[in-house]
Amino acid sequence: MNNAEFNLLLETAARRGLTAGEKDRLQACLASDPAAKTIWDEEEALTSLLGGLPDAPIASNFTAQVLHAVERDEQNHPAAPAIFRWLRLRRPAHPFLAACVTLVFLALGHWQYRIAQREKMAAALANVARSVETVSQIAPLPAMEMWKDYEPISRLAQTRPEADQELIEVLHELALK
Amino acid sequence: MAADLDPDARLMLSVRRGDRRAFEELVNRYKQPVINFLYRTLGDPVEAEDLSQNVFLQVFKSADRYKVSAKFTTWLFTIARNLCLNEIRRRSRHPAESLDAPHPEHDDQPLRQFEDARNSSPPDALLHGELEEKIQQALGELPDNQRLAILLCRQDELSYDDIARVLGCSLPATKSLIHRGRETLKQKLKPYLRTGSWKGSDK
C-alpha cells in the first residue's frame, strides 16, 4: 500500500466526501493492506461524530445585538479625522504612546539646546582667547623684575600717615609769637 | 474588478465604505459557524455568544485593514481564534467560580441552577446529549492548538492552507496538529466509534 496516498485520502475524507476516482484508489489501498481498513473505519467514524455535533444555541436577535454594539462603540470612540483615515489610523494613538512620543521630542529638543549652548560658549571662549592674543601682541606685559617691588610700592600709595600733633603745636606757638 | 471578487470580499469592500447592510449580511452569513467554533473551543454557550459578538465588532472596526486578496473566512476565523486564545488565557489567570459552590445566602442551594434536560427529553435526545457531552469533554481535554485545528477543519470554506494561516503555523505543522488531535480523540471516543453515527450510541 502506498502510505502517502492512503494518508492523503484520509486527509481528504476528513474534509469532504471522496470522488469516484478517489474511492477507487481507496479500495485499491484497502485491498492491499487489510490493517488499513481498521484505520479507515475509525477515521470515518470520528469524522461522522465530529460532523454530527449540533449547532450551538444562538439568540434570535444576535445580529441586532452586534449592530447595537457597533453603534455603542462608535459613540464611545468617534470616527477618526480624515487625515488619520488617510494614514490608515482608525483613531489617534493611545494617550500613553502619545505621551512617550512627546517626551522623546522634548528630550531631543533639550539635547539640541544644550549642544547649541555649548557651541555658543565655545565660540565665546575662542573670542576671549583671540582678544588676549591680540592685546598681548600690542602691549607686551612688563618684565617680571618690575613686579618684584609691586607690593611695597602699592602699600605706599595706600598709606595715610597720621598728623604730627607736636609739630603742629610748635608751629602754632611760633606763629603767635 | 469588483465582478472578479468573491461575494464576501465584495461585501467587505462595502463595509469599508460604511455600508451597514453589507455588514449585517456578513454577520447573518457567518454567525452560526463562528459561534459553533467558539462554543466547541470554550465549552460555554454564553461565553461563546458574547465572544462571537466581539468577533464581529472587531471585523467592523478593522475593516480598513482587511486585504481584499485575502479570503474573508480566513481573516474572520483568525480574529475568532485570537479572541478565543485571549479568553483561554484570561480564564487561566482568573478561574471561574464553581457551579457547585453554595449560594451565599442559602447554604442548601447551589449558586446557579440549570434545568437537567436529561429528565425531560425523549430517549434518543438523551443519547445524543450524552454523546455530545462525551465528544465535548474529549475536545476539551485536547491541547488548545490541536482543538482549534480540529474545529477549524469543520469549516468547509477553509482549506488546510487557510487553517494553517489562521493558526499561524506551517502546513505540515497544521496537519500534524490535526493528526495528533484526531488520534487522541479516537482513543477517548473508542466506545462510540463502533457505530460512527449519532443513531444509537451503545457503549
Whole-model pTM: value is: 0.67
User: Where are the domain boundaries for CATH 1.10.1740.10 in chain B?
Assistant: 1-96
Q: Per the structure block, which three cell numbers stand in for A11?
A: 486527509
Which range, of A30-34, A160-164, B41-45, B129-133, averages the lowest pLDDT? A160-164
Q: What is the ipTM of this complex?
A: 0.81
Q: ∠A92-B70-B89 over CA atoms, to 5°?
A: 65
pLDDT computed for residue A154 by the predictor: 75
Phi–psi pair at A93, nearest 5 degrees: -60, 155
Q: Is A17 on the interface with B (CB under 8 A)?
A: no
Phi–psi pair at B110, nearest 5 degrees: -75, 165
Of chain A, the percentage scoring pLDDT greater than 70 comes to 81
pLDDT computed for residue A125 by the predictor: 86
Task: Using CA coordinates, name the residue in chain B closest to A78.
Answer: B61
Of chain B, the percentage scoring pLDDT greater than 90 comes to 66
* 3-class secondary-structure state, position A149: coil
Residue B176 near residue B185 (C-beta atoms within 8 A): no
Interface contact A58-B194, CB threshold 8 A? no
pLDDT computed for residue B203 by the predictor: 38
For residues A39 and A138, the model is more confident at A39
| A58: nearest CB among B31, B132, B182 | B31
Which range, of A22-31, A106-115, A134-143, B154-163, averages the lowest pLDDT? A134-143
| A45: nearest CB among B31, B57, B196 | B196
Q: What is the mean pLDDT of residues B42-67?
A: 94
The conformation of residue A142, written as its DSSP 8-state character, comes to P
Residue A97 has pLDDT above 90, yes or no: no
Query: What is the CATH architecture of B1-96?
Result: Orthogonal Bundle (1.10)
Q: What is the mean pLDDT of residues A153-174?
A: 78
* Residue indicated by cell numbers 489567570: B93
| Contact residues on chain A for B28, CB-CB shorter than 8 A | 63
pLDDT computed for residue B32 by the predictor: 97
Q: What is the mean pLDDT of residues A87-103?
A: 70
CB atoms within 10 A of CB A63: 19
Residues B117-133: tens digit of each pLDDT: 445 556 667 778 889 99
Interface contact B32-A54, CB threshold 8 A? no
Residues 34-73 of A with CB under 8 A from B: 41-46, 48-59, 62-63, 65-67, 69-70, 73
Phi–psi pair at A122, nearest 5 degrees: -65, -40
Q: Select the residue from A6, A9, A15 to test the B interface by mutation, using most B Cβ atoms within 10 A.
A: A15
pLDDT computed for residue B94 by the predictor: 77
- Residue B201: pLDDT band by 50, 70, 90 thresholds? very low
d(CA B27, CA B12): 11
Please state, in angstroms and as integers, the Cα–Cα distance from residue B62 to each residue in B3, B13, B101, following that order: 23, 12, 40
Three-class DSSP labels, chain B:
CHHHCCHHHHHHHHHHCCCHHHHHHHHHHHHHHHHHHHHHHHCCHHHHHHHHHHHHHHHHHCHHHCCCCCCHHHHHHHHHHHHHHHHHHHHHHCCCCCCCCECCCCCCCECCCCCCHHHCCCHHHHHHHHHHHHHHHHHHCCCHHHHHHHHHCCCCCCCHHHHHHHHCCCHHHHHHHHHHHHHHHHHHCHHHHCCCCCCCCCC
For residues A25 and A84, the model is more confident at A25
The DSSP result for A60-114, as a single string, is TTHHHHHHHHHHHHHHHSPPPPHHHHHTT-SSPPPHHHHHHHHHHHHHHHHHHHH
Residues B135-156: tens digit of each pLDDT: 999 999 999 999 999 999 999 8
Q: What is the mean pLDDT of residues A27-34?
A: 90
Q: What is the mean pLDDT of residues B64-77?
A: 91
- Residue A41: pLDDT band by 50, 70, 90 thresholds? very high
d(CA A157, CA A125): 36
User: Where are the domain boundaries for CATH 1.10.10.10 in chain B?
Assistant: 123-196
Fold of B123-196: Arc Repressor Mutant, subunit A (1.10.10)
Please state, in angstroms and as integers, the Cα–Cα distance from residue A59 to each residue in A19, A104, B9, following that order: 38, 50, 26
Rounded to the nearest 10°, the torsion over CA A46, A51, A57, A60 is: 180
Q: How many CB pairs under 8 A join A and B?
A: 108
Of chain B, the percentage scoring pLDDT greater than 70 comes to 79
- Residue B14: pLDDT band by 50, 70, 90 thresholds? very high
